[in-house]
């Protein structure tokens, strides 16, 4: 039963201003999809902005390591390419064709994603408290052969003998080579030889 004249329900299934009900439904549905998409984009921007404010270098490293994207890590005057492996509290492992490197975060001057990958949010929390000194102590127990590059690009290669509180003891290769002591704070990268 039709309502009073001018009632919006009067012509619900018929034409309304020359437009049929199906056309109106399609228009309403399209309007809702546009509004929902705009709202979703706005929410995504807001979430990305909020996550960006909470970003840390370790969080970025965790995001990139999980996705195994190719990166270029700049350490002073040198750049190393590969993808990120384990992320510790103060180091990251870089996996390369030439072998793995353990890089002190204090030596990293920049990190660039070389893949076409979405930006890392970096708002994740570090899951481990494993430190570079812990990794080096394990390597020393194995008497691992290492190549250490410091923050100024000086290289010490040899057998890692001991790791103290703040110093590494390395027995260089070659006859007559004396023991070398490297301050832990100077270590930029460690490569297993």
Give the C-alpha distances (Å, rounded to integers) separating 103 from 33, 43, 61, 146, 151.
Answer: 48, 36, 12, 13, 11
Q: Supply the pLDDT for residue 39.
A: 81
Q: Supply the pLDDT for residue 187.
A: 96
* For the chain, the helix, strand and coil percentages under 3-state DSSP, each to the nearest 5: 30, 35, 35
pLDDT band at residue 109 using 50, 70 and 90 as cut-offs: very high
Distance CA 175, CA 172 (A): 9
Q: Which helix (H) or strand (E) holds 2?
A: none
Q: Which residue from 130, 86, 70, 80 is spatially nearest to 107, judged by alpha carbons? A: 80
Mean pLDDT of 84-100: 93
Q: Supply the pLDDT for residue 29.
A: 82
Quick check: 14 pLDDT over 60? no
- Dihedral of alpha carbons 131, 134, 138, 144, sign: positive
Mean pLDDT of 165-172: 95
For domain 54-128, give the fold.
SH3 type barrels. (2.30.30)
Quick check: 47 pLDDT over 70? no
Q: Where are the domains of the chain?
A: 19-52, 54-128, 131-193
Mean pLDDT of 133-151: 94
0.85 exceeded by pTM = no
DSSP state of 90: S
Is 131-193 a domain of CATH 3.40.109.10?
Answer: no
């Amino acid at each position: 039963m039709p309502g009073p004249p001018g009632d919006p329900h009067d012509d619900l299934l018929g034409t309304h201003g020359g437009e049929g009900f199906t056309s109106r439904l399609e228009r309403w549905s399209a309007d809702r999809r546009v509004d929902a998409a705009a709202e979703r984009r706005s929410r995504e921007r807001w979430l990305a902005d909020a996550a960006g404010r909470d970003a840390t270098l370790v969080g970025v490293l965790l995001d990139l390591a999980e996705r195994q994207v190719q990166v270029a890590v700049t350490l002073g005057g040198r750049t190393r390419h590969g993808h990120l492996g384990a992320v510790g509290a103060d180091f990251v492992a870089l996996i390369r064709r030439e072998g793995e490197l353990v890089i002190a975060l204090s030596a990293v001057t920049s990190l660039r994603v070389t893949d076409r990958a979405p930006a890392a949010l970096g708002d994740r929390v570090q899951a481990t408290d494993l430190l570079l000194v812990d990794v080096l102590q394990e390597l020393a127990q194995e008497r691992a052969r290492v190549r250490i590059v410091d923050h100024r690009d000086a290289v010490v290669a040899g057998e890692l003998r001991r790791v103290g509180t703040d110093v590494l003891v390395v027995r260089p290769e070659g006859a007559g080579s004396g023991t070398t002591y490297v301050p832990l704070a100077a270590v930029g990268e460690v490569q297993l030889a």
